[in-house]
């Protein structure tokens, strides 16, 4: 019984390892054929002109602007409510 479980576990692990190796080989082949871009280097990621970094910066700025405008809107709304009621 123990041996059967060990055999099943070994075969499952061999399958997982084989699938990982095949996936890695496919990725290498696709890079070689030019069908897939190689992974970015650390220099490319740290580049200040990286479009992803610029996108994050714009999103952060828009979020901050939205919070600021929402606060001013709520303040103006409260002021208008006070003016109407009194």
What are the tens digits of pLDDT across the range 33-71?
888 877 777 777 777 777 888 888 999 999 999 999 999
Number of domains in the chain: 2
d(CA 21, CA 14): 11
User: Hey, CA dihedral for 59, 63, 64, 65, is it positive or negative?
Assistant: positive
Residue 69, Cβ neighbours under 10 Å: how many?
A: 10
Pair (33, 52) in one structural domain: no
- pLDDT value at residue 52: 80
Whole-number average pLDDT of the chain: 89
Is the same domain home to 35 and 46?
A: no
pLDDT grade for 16, boundaries at 50, 70 and 90: very high
Is residue 80 located within the same domain as residue 48?
A: yes
Percentage of the chain surpassing pLDDT 90? 53
Handedness of CA 34, 39, 45, 47 (dihedral sign): negative
Q: Residues 46, 82: one domain?
A: yes
Same domain, 84 and 71: yes
Structural domain range at position 7: 1-39
- pLDDT for residue 64: 96
């Amino acid at each position: 019984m123990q041996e059967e479980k060990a055999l099943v576990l070994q075969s499952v692990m061999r399958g997982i390892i084989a699938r990982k190796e095949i996936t890695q080989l496919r990725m290498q082949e696709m890079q070689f054929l030019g069908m897939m871009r190689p992974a970015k280097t650390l220099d490319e990621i740290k580049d200040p002109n990286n479009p992803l970094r610029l996108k994050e910066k714009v999103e952060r700025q828009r979020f901050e602007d939205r919070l600021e405008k929402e606060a001013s809107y709520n303040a103006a709304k409260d002021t208008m409510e006070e003016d109407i009621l009194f």
